[in-house]
Amino acid sequence: LGVYEMGYDLVCRACGRHTKQDVFRCPHCNGILDCRFDLEDPPRYRSILQGAKGFWDYRPFFPVAGERPVSLGEGNTPLVAAPRLASQLGMQGVYVKNEGMNPSGTFKDRCQSIAYTKAQEMAAPATIIGSAGNAGAAAAAYAAASGIPCFVVVPADTNMERLAQTLQYGANLIRVQGNVSDCIELLETVCKERGWQDMTTAHSHNPFQGEGTKTIAYELARDMEWDVPDWIIVPIGGGGILSSIYKGYQEMYTLGLIPRMPKMAGVQEAGCAAVAEAFEKGAAPQAIQRVQNPTGVAVAIKDAYPLDGETALQAIYDSGGVAARVTAGQIAQAQGELGRSCGVFAEPASAATVAALFKLREAGVVQKEDRAVCIITGNGLKDAGFALQQILQPPAIPMSQAALNAQIDQLLGN
């Protein structure tokens, strides 16, 4: 293997050279690689996107042969209309794309389905990933599905839900006294020395996995009948998901399937906001600065350095969008609003999109006639502890009809 007759090239961001080899960095200058699909024969590609009923129906848009996909039923997540949230916001249309419905509970399953299919096609002896917990759990799941060994490197303070899941999928778990950016930086030498594949969900570490995430855009367009929302609101950790959703829309625009591009709103938490800070200064994407001591409750987006921050900020600028930051309190409040108004339970990083929508609406950035989609990247069960801190656990009552009635009356405020 090594050279495929597939409709894509890997293109180097630094020197611009193309290659058809399966490599993770540019063979000429070690630059970061992007998959670029030629999309010649637009009618064929349009009909694939129009007819797709599930994730692997998008196979011609993936950088894999894909004869034996490593799949657990990822993607094809529900787009949920949120009319009560919309009326609270004074808006026409608000929707949430519930990525928490993926097999391991986050959109990272889209990434790892592609990454492990590629690893299988390249006969990788083993895989390793640096993660804040969700990408690692997803890697562990797809490693189990493929039978390829997997090492997951996470910050020592990663919560129980993510650790338990990763261990139950049978991965080798390594906890490091550092943050997620530290974990990721440790991998390069290990991969080089051992010949393992890096499954970290950043283009600089794995140029293939991000092509899974762009299917969020394909599904949105299909489910909105080829109309485009005014805003797509996405959390930024490394910036990969925002960049990939934008790329998916660009491909559809190039193919003439959609009439215009959406505006991208990227959301970070106040104590870890490298991209928002650059945006506020109007700085160039290359000028994004690493955060020294990242803090916050939204651990899935607590990346000190956003590895895909440049492409994310460029997408924000190009689309006429914004980068916003929200506080832990706003996230907690938004998690409750989303749960009560739509029945969707989001983890803090994902509830941040709803918090940002409230903030952007108040600031008049998002208008009342606009339609917005919040990407709920992960399931609330990924961080049960956070949710429990926001509510009062009810007392345990005696097992009697009288006690039950008394408790109901109390809840009714009687």
**Residues lying near ligand PLP in the complex (CB under 6 A):** 106, 108, 134-135, 201, 235-241, 300-301, 347, 349-350, 377-378
Q: Are the C-beta atoms of 369 and 351 separated by less than 8 Å? A: no
Nearest approach, Cβ of 285 to ligand PLP (angstroms)? 14
Q: Is 29 in the site for Zn ion (CB under 5 A)?
A: yes
SS (H, E, C) 179-214: CHHHHHHCHHHHHHHHCCEECCCCCCCCCCCHHHHC
Residue 240: contacted member of Zn ion, ligand PLP, none (CB under 5 to 8 Å, by partner type): ligand PLP
Residue with smaller CB distance to ligand PLP, 236 or 322: 236
| Tokens describing residue 164 | 């338990």
Residue 349: contacted member of ligand PLP, Zn ion, none (CB under 5 to 8 Å, by partner type): ligand PLP
Q: Report 158-187 residues binding Zn ion (CB under 5 A).
A: none
Provide the Cα torsion 387, 296, 234, 36; round to 10°: -130
Q: Are the C-beta atoms of 306 and 275 separated by less than 8 Å? A: yes
- Please tell me the distance from the alpha carbon of residue 58 to that of residue 60, in angstroms, as a whole number: 6
**How distant, in Å, are the alpha carbons of 97, 107, 167, 382 from that of 71?**
20, 13, 19, 21
* Stretch of 27-35, 129-137, 361-369, 389-397 contacting Zn ion, by CB under 5 A: 27-35
Nearest approach, Cβ of 24 to Zn ion (angstroms)? 12
Residue with smaller CB distance to ligand PLP, 140 or 257: 140
| Tokens describing residue 297 | 């409750």
Nearest approach, Cβ of 19 to Zn ion (angstroms)? 9
Residue 363: contacted member of Zn ion, ligand PLP, none (CB under 5 to 8 Å, by partner type): none
- The radius of gyration of the chain from alpha carbons, rounded to an integer in Å, stands at 21
Residue 381: contacted member of Zn ion, ligand PLP, none (CB under 5 to 8 Å, by partner type): none
Q: Are the C-beta atoms of 258 and 49 separated by less than 8 Å? A: no
Q: Are the C-beta atoms of 354 and 235 separated by less than 8 Å? A: no
Nearest approach, Cβ of 237 to ligand PLP (angstroms)? 3
Distance of CA 54 to the CA centre of its chain: 18
Strand partners, 95: 81, 373
Q: Is 363 in the site for Zn ion (CB under 5 A)?
A: no
Q: Is 14 in the site for Zn ion (CB under 5 A)?
A: yes
Residue with smaller CB distance to Zn ion, 28 or 290: 28
Residue 236: contacted member of Zn ion, ligand PLP, none (CB under 5 to 8 Å, by partner type): ligand PLP
Judging by DSSP bridges, how do beta strands 322-326 and 172-176 pair with one another?
unpaired
DSSP letter (8 states) at residue 396: P
Residue 98: contacted member of ligand PLP, Zn ion, none (CB under 5 to 8 Å, by partner type): none
- Sign, CA dihedral 171-175-179-182, equals negative
Q: Which of 10, 11, 26, 355 binds Zn ion (CB under 5 A)?
A: 26
Q: Is 156 in the site for Zn ion (CB under 5 A)?
A: no
Residue with smaller CB distance to ligand PLP, 128 or 216: 216
Residue with smaller CB distance to ligand PLP, 257 or 276: 276
Q: Which of 20, 21, 23, 28 binds Zn ion (CB under 5 A)?
A: 28
Residue with smaller CB distance to ligand PLP, 240 or 248: 240
Q: Strand ranges (DSSP E) for 73-124? A: 79-81, 93-98
69: Cβ contacts below 8 Å, ≥ 6 apart: 56, 59, 113, 117
Judging by DSSP bridges, how do beta strands 79-81 and 93-98 pair with one another?
antiparallel
Residue whose beta carbon is closest to ligand PLP? 378
* Side chain identity, residue 273: A
**What DSSP string describes 353-379?**
HHHHHHHHHHTTSS-TT-EEEEEE-BB
Residue 12: contacted member of ligand PLP, Zn ion, none (CB under 5 to 8 Å, by partner type): Zn ion
Nearest approach, Cβ of 29 to Zn ion (angstroms)? 3
Residue with smaller CB distance to Zn ion, 12 or 252: 12
Residue 28: contacted member of Zn ion, ligand PLP, none (CB under 5 to 8 Å, by partner type): Zn ion
Residue with smaller CB distance to ligand PLP, 86 or 233: 233
Interface residues toward Zn ion, by CB under 5 A: 12, 14-15, 26, 28-29, 31
